Structure 1
Amino acid sequence: MIYSESALGFPIDDSVTCVEMYDGGPLSYMTTRAAGLLVDLTADAVVVPTTTRTIEQFERIALPGAPWRYAITSNGGNILVDGEPDKSWRSSFDGVELELVRTELHARSTGDWVLKQRTADDLFCYLVVEPTQVPEGFLDEWSLWCAARGWNVSQQGRKIYTMPDVVSKSRAVAEVVRRCVDDGVLDAHHLTVAAGDGALDADMLIAADRAIRPAHGELHALNFSRPNLDVTEFSGGRAGEEILEWLGEKTRNGVEP
């Protein structure tokens, strides 16, 4: 839904609004039209912002349509309820072997190609790298080591994520849906629609009744497709508008599983 200036695909002008500030300057944008479409969508559907961002990173965004009853951060590792982390959900991941993985990653990621090493919400690790300088074979070898221990690896632009398999957006979405059904906010015949552009979104898109991805990003580079998945015509910020139009249409008219 939101884009950096370089990812928008067109110059910043009056059709764009800033939705995230960082270190005193603008960082992320969405078109004014997309912002309006998102506000409209919240009137017709249970909208659950879902992101790999940490709680702190998510809270920087002034996403139109707020406040949210539920939001999902940390790739599914945290569920926010009225803005507060759900402690019972977070505690279900206390057994992940973060220190083992973090130590091994640190030993493998030396050199000028690594700009930063970070731990996110004490759940997973990621590197910020120079994409063209990542050593040949690093991703394959690191992925094999992680897979044997129940973790997975994904590169999205300048970031290489190392994530426990149990921390996933689809599991968190399923939990939020269960709670909404139990509370009577959704009925038993609800339909779930989802949008995403990165490999860490794939499980959520597969699990949804209908899904959409933009014609850019990691999943587009992988030519990711599924029977329940649509792809936008546009890329960049215009794809954000197209996705929100699609979500609104499915919400108003209903979709078949």
Structure 2
Amino acid sequence: MTVLVASDLDRTLIYSAAALGLDMPDAEAPRLLCVEVYQGKPLSYLTEAAAGLVAELGRTAVFVPTTTRTPEQYRRVHLPGPPPRFAICANGGHLLVDGESDPEWHAAVRGALADSCAPLEEVRAHLTATADPAWLLKERVAEDLFAYLVVERKLLPDEYVKELTVWAEPRGWTVSLQGRKIYAVPKPLTKSAAVAEVKRRAGADEVLTAGDSFLDADLLEAADHAWRPGHGELATAGWTAPHVTAVEEQGVAAGEAIARALSEHASLHWAKARREVIRAVSRGRD
């Protein structure tokens, strides 16, 4: 019996300084562990308590970091515990096995996208044409799979994301606003499809997931049990499902709460599996 834990990273398990949400007095703030450095500067953190829980997940479950980051961006993150054998990057576009992208999986994903949605070039052209330089900071393409804008949130008009969503929907694309980034992602490019493949390869019989954005909704829906933080797109929309637990905490405290829930559930599953193995061995001796 094996449990698979697939968790989103940014704003679910790990947090930038701007997303920490440390609204308590400084003397009461939790100790933090930096897990990512970018251009020589610390970038992403989790609490020390969450770090211990994540390390435990690596020992009691098939722990699969599941992210919209590109493989290059993911490799900057050094989570506590044993290095995960599997990781999902580019929202499911890359399935990393022992740190390397599986070429057959990547080719299959590209084939599916070519057959079912508007081309990336059309979407990128629309983003470039409609983004206002007054609030646009950067325009990027990730792995030739999807596009995103980095924006100044304070200047971003409320209606822009809504109008972009209406435009993208009939073209087979999803729009998601996460922090300072507006993502445009093909609907067939999903984290859940990649998790299903890892489940098959690992022989897992239970799947636990966590995430905070609309791009994580399919990941949460496909799980046996799932968790989302008290912040993010899903929380703002009030999104839920019968098997999804919405933790009350926000910011890095939510990351710790989710890590604790995942670890406790995985540990119970592991203990149950261990007892069944012991009983099976005992029956064999009898």
Residue equivalent to 2:47: 31
- Of residues 208, 232, 236, the one that matches 2:247 is 232
More off after superposition, 113-122 vs 239-248: 239-248
SS of residue in 2 equivalent to 1:47: strand
Shift of 1:22: 0.8
> What's the TM-score once normalised by structure 2's chain length?
0.82
Would you say the 8 A contact 2:66–2:89 is kept in 1? yes
User: What amino acid does structure 1 have at the position aligned with 2:250?
Assistant: S
Q: Which residue of 2 aligns with 1:194?
A: 209
Residue 212 of structure 1 is matched in structure 2 by 227
Residue 73 (str. 1) matches residue 89 (str. 2): yes
In structure 1, how many angstroms separate the alpha carbons of the residues matched to 2:56 and 2:84? 14
**Which residue of 261, 266, 272 maps to 1:246?**
261
Q: Residues 43 and 166 (structure 1 numbering): CA distance in 2 closer, same or farther, change over 3 Å?
A: same
Deviation at 1:72, TM superposition (A): 0.3
Amino acid at match of 1:62: H
Q: Structure 1 pair 253/14, CA: closer, same or farther in 2 (3 Å)?
A: closer
Aligned to 2:99: 83
1:8 aligned to 6, 14, 20, which one? 20
Q: 1:52 aligns with which of 42, 64, 68?
A: 68
Percent identity between matched residues is 48
Counterpart CA distance in 1 for 2:163 and 2:249 is: 35
Mapped to 1, the partners of 2:19 and 2:130 lie a distance apart of: 30
Deviation at 1:137, TM superposition (A): 3.2
1:19 pairs, out of 10, 13, 35, with: 35
More RCO (CA 8 Å, sep 6+): 2
Superposed structure 1 runs of 4+ greater than 3 Å apart: 11-14
Structure 2: how far apart are the matches of 1:216 and 1:143? Answer: 21
Q: Which deviates more, 70-79 or 240-249?
A: 240-249
Aligned-partner Cα distance in 2 for 1:46–1:129 = 36
SS at match of 2:255: helix
Q: Could you list the per-position Cα deviations for residues 158-199 of structure 1 after superposition, in whole angstroms to 9, with x for gaps in the alignment?
A: 111000011011111111111112xxxx3xxx1111011111
Q: Is 1:143 aligned to residue 165 of structure 2?
A: yes
Matched, 1:165 2:187: yes
SS at match of 1:92: helix
Deviation at 1:64, TM superposition (A): 1.2
1:4 Cα deviation from its structure 2 partner: 1.3
RMSD across aligned positions (CA): 1.8
Length, aligned pairs only: 248
* Aligned residue type for 1:201: D
SS at match of 2:226: strand
Partner amino acid for 2:91? N
Q: How does the TM-score come out when normalised to structure 1?
A: 0.91
Structure 1 CA distance for aligned equivalents of residues 21 and 153 of structure 2: 20
Report the secondary structure of 1:20's partner residue: strand
Runs of 5+ in structure 2 lacking a partner? 1-12, 271-286
Structure 1 residue 140: Cα displacement: 2.6
How far apart are 1:52 and its partner, in Å?
A: 0.8
**In 2 relative to 1, CA 236–135 (structure 1 residues): closer, same or farther, beyond 3 Å?**
closer
Distance 1:150 1:245, change over 3 A: same
User: Closer, same or farther in 2 for the Cα pair 1:216/1:140, shift >3 Å?
Assistant: closer
Cα 1:66–1:99 change in 2 (3 A) is farther
- Cα distance in 1, alignment partners of residues 67 and 59 from structure 2: 21
Deviations 1:114-155 (A, max 9, x none): 110000111000001122322453223322221111111111
Letter in 1 for 2:223: A
Which AA in structure 1 matches 2:101? P
Change (3 A) 1:111 1:14: closer
The match for 1:40 among 56, 61, 69 is 56
Q: Deviations for 1:42-83, whole angstroms, at most 9, x for unmatched residues?
A: 111111000111111111111112411110011111110110
| CA distance, structure 2, for counterparts of residue 105 and residue 233 of structure 1 | 35
- Alpha-carbon distance in structure 1 between the residues aligned to 2:157 and 2:266: 45
Return the index of the structure with the highest Cα Rg.
Answer: 2
CA distance in 2, matches of 1:146, 1:23: 34
